[in-house]
């Protein structure tokens, strides 16, 4: 499931710069899965990730670790009451765009 623009992600202002689907679009995806009952449902990048992991798991692990390091913990996740405006770097935008549908 791609990143869904919900109140849950609102405190992490960095997500405002990333592509996200609406709750209605997410609901449509779920309803379509329930209606058509496909064996598997996912995004193209998710399917690519499955194949890539089958072929070279260590390279995929390195890429996911890089994504983890590019996106630090948000102020909200650290329990700060005052959420400061978080700066979005070029690397973060590039990683989120290239891997859309993985975690965001």
Per-residue confidence (pLDDT) for residue 84, from 0 to 100: 57
Instruction: Give me the residues paired with residue 4 across strands.
Output: 21
What is the mean predicted confidence (pLDDT) over 18-29? 88
Cα 4-6-12 angle, rounded to 5 deg: 95
Identify the three-state secondary structure at position 11: coil
The pLDDT of residue 69 is: 77
Residue-wise pLDDT tens digits, 43-57: 777 788 889 999 999
pLDDT-derived band of residue 13, with 50, 70 and 90 as boundaries?
A: confident
Q: What residue spans define the domains of the chain? A: 13-98
Q: Cα(23)–Cα(39) distance, rounded to whole angstroms?
A: 23
Phi and psi based region of residue 79 (left: phi greater than 0; alpha: psi -120 to 50; beta: remaining)? left
Extract the tokens encoding 43: 């995004």
Model confidence pTM above 0.75? no
User: Is the pLDDT score of 71 beyond 60?
Assistant: yes
């Amino acid at each position: 499931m791609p990143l869904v623009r919900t109140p849950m992600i609102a405190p992490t202002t960095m997500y405002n710069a990333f592509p996200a689907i609406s709750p209605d679009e997410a609901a449509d995806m779920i309803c379509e899965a329930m209606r058509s009952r496909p064996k598997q449902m996912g995004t193209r990048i998710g399917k690519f990730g499955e194949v890539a992991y089958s072929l070279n798991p260590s390279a995929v692990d390195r890429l996911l670790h890089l994504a983890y390091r590019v996106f630090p913990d948000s102020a909200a996740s650290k329990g700060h009451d005052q959420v400061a405006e978080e700066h979005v770097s070029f690397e973060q935008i590039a990683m989120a765009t290239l891997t859309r549908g993985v975690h965001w």
